[in-house]
Chains A and B, each alone.
Chain A
Amino acid sequence: MAQKYAFLIDGERCIFCRACVVACKLENHVGSQWQRNDVILIGPDQGKNPAMYPVFMNCQHCERPACIAACPVENKAIEKREDGVVIIIPDKCVGDEMCVYACAYGALRLSPHKNKHGYHVVDKCTYCVHKLDRDPDAPGGNRPACVMTCPNRALDFGLRDELLARVKREGRDILDIDKFGMGPSNIILKPRPVRMANALHDSDATYSSEWPFDIKAFRVGASEELNPAG
């Protein structure tokens, strides 16, 4: 299936303002106790790497989605569209949360909304597909709400091939977060080596950054676990 769309996430530009989280909640009427996306802070760890990295996480709309594989409903309550977007079919969902546990990126949550059969349904980022047909010049544009809101253009959204080509042109490296072979669609850029020093140490001993990669960190909602206050 052709993966048409993807996010391009440049953590170097992120200022940790969380406008993306709030914009999604407004656009998609997400309730107050959960969120479809998240900005997690990785680090610092003064022993290994004094820097901090913000990482925007949402549903990766994987090539081989674990959520679909895990769904026990006949004919599945989640589908992967022609354009690669993974979408929940609310009326088929029975709220068993198998997909929630299966997703390595923590992208799904059980929501308080009920479908017409009375089951609570799961909810996740939809790449704001409902906006795709809108006029790009209208307020809010035709791209995902988080992308449109980010005050420092840390997020972009578009055709995956085009984004990859741009990344290559600009000579940036891509972070590999595909530890489970799901084929996540989003392109998360590796931040370039930062000479971040902690003045407590000898001022010559600055650290260059290597991405402190721990797959467990890359989950929507990780910010709640790492920093319970959010």
Chain B
Amino acid sequence: MKRDEAIACVERSEKLKITFSRRSFLKTTAIGGGALLLSDNLADKLGLVENAFAMHNWKEGTTFEQFPFTERLVWRPEDGLVADKVVRSGCSFCPSACWHMVHVKDGRAINVYGDPDNPIQAAGGVEGKQGGVCAKGRIGIIQLLYNKYRITRPMKRVGPKPSMKFEPVSWDQVFTEIAQKLVDIRDNSPEGAKAVAAKTTDRVSRDNGAPQFRFMHMYGSPNTTHEGYICNDAGGIAQGLILGKGSQTNGFSYDPVTGTYDLGDSKYVMWFGVNDAESHPLTHAWMRRRKEIVKAKWIVVDPRMTATALSAEVWVPIKPGTDMALVYGMLHYIMNNNLIDSDFVDKWVAGYDELKKFVNAKGYSPEWAAGITGIPAKSIQQIAKDYATTKPAAIITNAGINHHVNAVDCERVLIFLTAITGNLGVPGGGHVAMHNSGVGVSFPPIKGGPTITEAGLPPQPDFFVRAINEGKPYKLRMIFYQGNMTTQNSNTAMVKKALMNPDVTYVSFNLFPQEDTEYADYILPTQTFYEFDHVHRRLDRALMFRERAVDPIGETKSELQVWIELAGYMAKLDKKNPPEYWTGNWDPRWWQDKRYFWNEICAKNGGAWSGGMTADRMINLAPKHMLKAPCPPMDHPAAKVLRRDQLAEDGQHPGLSVMFLDDPAWKLLWANEKFPNGRRFPNDIDKVLIYTKEFDDKMKAIGHSALPEFYTSPESMAGLPTIKYLNEFVKSPSVSNSAGGNLVHKVEIGVKPDPEIRKKYPIQLTTGRPGVGVFHTISHWSWSLSQLCRDRYVQMHPKMAAKLKVKSGDMVKVETQRGSLTGPVMVWDGIQEDTVFVPHTFGNRQKVHEDIGGKAWDTVNVLTEHYYDTLSGQNEYKCQLCKVSKV
């Protein structure tokens, strides 16, 4: 039948059927029915309503400009909008973890101020009347909370990839389909449960990561991972390997246990690869204030001069990727000039002699380091001397060290430095590995279920891509991803290829239709920080309990809620386990009542590390005092040794600011059979493990060594020794996300890199944070924050600009073996002459950038390649080769 005939046929068959389908969404409680029936009662009410509002707002002839609500996102008292409640919520953008006093009226957040009683925020405003917040906190969250682009319902794909063709579906449908798929993959695919991988994000509450791990372990997959491998976990992993426990070792604000301001009392601070001012503005401001008071000296080691160097005494413009050489040069000088802390070394270090022999035999002198780093030997010697002789001295590290293939090895060498100078385990000292303060959430043990025996992939999300594309060590079939694979993983082209694989189902937890939405099969809408009770952690292991400020938008759910509810569907569809397996190991009350969750579950299972951190304590003590892990319950031997003046205001444990203290308060936390009186270093030898034969053998099995040789990225300009990935997978000695452990490539270290790349691509490319207004891709969806950093610039030295004949604002093309992008030049004197810096987190679906008159930029990761540190999974984001040309 032809089309026209078909229509006519349809029409003809309906003669006088005038009834018109109409679903009424407005239900009047007065009538209780669904129809808009006439009713005097309703008419009266409506009449009253319209009269009331007409008098208030509109007269005949009213025009648009007279409308009371234009540009009203944040309210002024004279507008007549005063909060009817103020909620203590907080920011989770960065781990300064500021408190936000959220002003709420009629259930709507209308304004945000900082909390003046938090010591970190106390210098805000004038006379401490208003706590400080940075640009992100002030407006970023509200602009995300009520953002029109917010995905508020679960979405299912209806068109081919890549595209944005989705339809909203019910949670019931999404959960059912996902659970069915999970069962299917586990029971019917060649790989089984391990073909499902999942990754969490740091953007949300502390109770976001652990539930995923629990679910995946219950399901039987070892491929549960977290954002730490994209972030800065190498520092904590290095500490774990040689100190027995990894985290940021020292803290901010007053510490009653040591009676000091900890890092605030440091006299010498070396910032190794940390743009602290733009990454953690408020804790940085606190450090700045303390610096003034104690007259500390700051050394900033960074290929670029950033805002962190605003008050630094020395800027060390090191060549990207060469930090390990600098540290070895310092070590060489210190060890050969009697600047070590002999007491500490004798008592607490295993392998000092071997280290000294090694460094001397290799010739890792300041002169050698000068040739590699570009920093004169005399400067290196001076810095080494100052670091060793000024007490206390702190080393602070972040992405500048960790976003390299030698991340853990470089961090270990930094720990060597900290240890042999006696700066470990003292207030104001330490190896302060930032972003490693994941306190984690402690659940009760899983009852029943599989024991995972198979090993997971290398623990970083880039490996999801490689596993799919290469099929080695095995293929993946389903990914749960929190974050944005197509902007944050290296080599975007490879990511897209993996996500186009027809066997792969991609489940995206997201707030906005981002770049990876084009490849998603399902979108699970999540919540912003104001929409649920949550616990966030500060850099220094301080935990804070934040209350929900507003109702969740639409049908969004927090991640904890999603895993718990998904477990409910597994109970229905998983035929291999009894339903009680799934329902008995979870409790919806955990997400419904976070106070209960933290009081009764997390604290009760927290043991020595976090047993004393109940929700009640966190709420009652904050903001003046924030509990830091380790914080044992008061009946723990390590708590009983504290004096009255060392306890928190509520008479219980205050949490320890300084890790590895030579004090029973720390040592007793680690008492075990072998060490009944406790351990300062919670490993087998109770010492800093620089070298033992045993440890060396363990490391050599995967191609590393206890005493790391110097090496760097395969794409360094100078063609320095690098790493080669052999065709063999081995079990990682340093990372294990499940009982099965994780695989990594066996490597060979010290090989020469391919010289051809350098010939074609002669400029060093490094990447990093665009500016203070940016944290993850999510902040790019705020209008005001996008304005603060509108363009994905290409930062270069005036000399390079002159050579290219460009000035600030001109467009250049940056190209690598993987791809190319364009961007406006930013001429900057504070950068190496042969290096360009291109910031990350931009993406070509960032509509807000278009809305403000800019454009949505391709991510820098179209340029980067996937080289990873096999000890931590971290990516070589910061040292690749490119060429730059004028457009």
Contact = CB atoms under 8 A, between A and B. Distances in A.
B636 interface: no
B378 A203 contact: yes
B129 A136 contact: yes
Interface string B309-344: 111111111000000000000000000000000000
Given A157-B126, A202-B378, A203-B382, 17 more contacts: A17-B285, A18-B788, A19-B138, A22-B135, A33-B852, A35-B787, A50-B305, A50-B830, A140-B76, A140-B130, A151-B282, A152-B285, A156-B126, A194-B311, A194-B313, A203-B378, A228-B808
A44 B78 CA distance: 43
B789 A229 contact: yes
Contacts of B773: 18
B634 interface: no
A148 B137 CA distance: 14
Contacts of A15: 277, 281, 284-285, 288, 307, 310
Interface in B285-323: 285, 288-289, 305, 307, 309-317
B414 interface: no
B125 A147 contact: yes
Contacts, number: 218
A32 B850 CA distance: 12
B288 A152 contact: yes
A230 B78 CA distance: 32
Interface centre among A148, A206, A228 (most CB of B within 10 A): A228
B702 interface: no
Nearest to B142: A26
Interface in B113-150: 113-114, 121, 123-126, 129-135, 137-139
A16 B773 CA distance: 10
Nearest to B383: A199
Contacts of B673: none
Contact of B125 (A12, A150, A203, A230): A150
A10 B846 CA distance: 36
Contact of B375 (A130, A148, A199): A199
B809 interface: yes
Interface stretch (B530-538, B600-608, B821-829): B821-829
A129 interface: no
Among all A-B residue pairs, the 4 with the closest Cβ atoms: A151-B132, A17-B281, A16-B307, A199-B379
A140 B113 contact: yes
Contacts of B314: 196-199
B471 interface: no
A102 B436 CA distance: 52
Given A16-B278, A196-B313, A228-B826, A134 B77 contact: yes
B784 interface: yes
A148 B74 contact: no
A136 B77 CA distance: 13
B790 interface: yes
B783 interface: yes
Given A149-B130, A196-B314, A226 B852 contact: no
Nearest to B131: A151
Contacts of B114: 149, 151
B609 interface: no
Interface in A180-230: 194-203, 206, 225-230
Contacts of A33: 787, 852-853
Contact of B138 (A23, A152, A228): A23
Given A16-B307, A32-B784, A139-B113, A152 B277 contact: no
B790 A229 contact: yes
B277 A16 contact: yes
B790 A201 contact: no
Contact of B826 (A17, A22, A229): A229
Interface of B: 65, 70-74, 76-78, 83, 101, 103, 111, 113-114, 121, 123-126, 129-135, 137-139, 277-278, 281-282, 284-285, 288-289, 305, 307, 309-317, 374-376, 378-383, 770-773, 783-793, 808-809, 824-826, 828-830, 851-853
A173 interface: no
A67 to B, nearest CB: 24
Given A151-B281, A197-B313, A18 B135 contact: yes
Interface string A134-150: 10111111010001111
Given A139-B103, A149-B132, A203-B376, A230 B138 contact: no
Interface centre among B73, B126, B772, B852 (most CB of A within 10 A): B126
Contacts of A197: 313-315
The A contact surface, by secondary structure, is: loop
Contacts of B379: 199-203
B70 to A, nearest CB: 8
A130 B281 CA distance: 29
Nearest to B284: A15
Contact of B74 (A26, A200, A230): A26
27 contacts: A15-B284, A16-B277, A17-B772, A19-B133, A19-B135, A19-B137, A22-B785, A33-B852, A50-B830, A130-B78, A136-B129, A138-B77, A139-B130, A141-B125, A141-B130, A143-B126, A147-B126, A148-B126, A149-B125, A150-B125, A152-B285, A152-B288, A199-B317, A202-B378, A202-B379, A203-B381, A203-B383
Interface of A: 12-19, 21-23, 25-27, 29, 31-33, 35, 41, 43-47, 50, 52-54, 116, 130, 134, 136-141, 143, 147-153, 156-157, 194-203, 206, 225-230
Contacts of A198: 314-315, 317
Contacts of A130: 76, 78
B120 to A, nearest CB: 9
Nearest to A157: B126
Contacts of A54: 307, 310
A32 B852 contact: yes
Contact of B305 (A13, A25, A44): A44
Nearest to A115: B65
Contact of A229 (B130, B315, B793): B793
B281 A150 contact: no
B285 A151 contact: yes
Interface centre among A33, A130, A149 (most CB of B within 10 A): A149
Given A199-B315, A202-B376, A228-B826, A21 B135 contact: yes
Contact of B808 (A32, A136, A143, A227): A227
B784 A22 contact: yes
Nearest to A152: B285
B61 to A, nearest CB: 14
B26 to A, nearest CB: 33
A143 B74 CA distance: 17
A110 B810 CA distance: 25
Contacts of B76: 27, 130, 140
Contacts of B113: 139-140
A46 B827 CA distance: 13
A160 B754 CA distance: 65
Contacts of B101: 139
Contacts of A230: 771, 787-791
Nearest to B309: A52
Nearest to A144: B126
Contacts of A46: 829-830
Nearest to B773: A18
A149 B824 contact: no
B78 A26 contact: no
Nearest to B770: A229
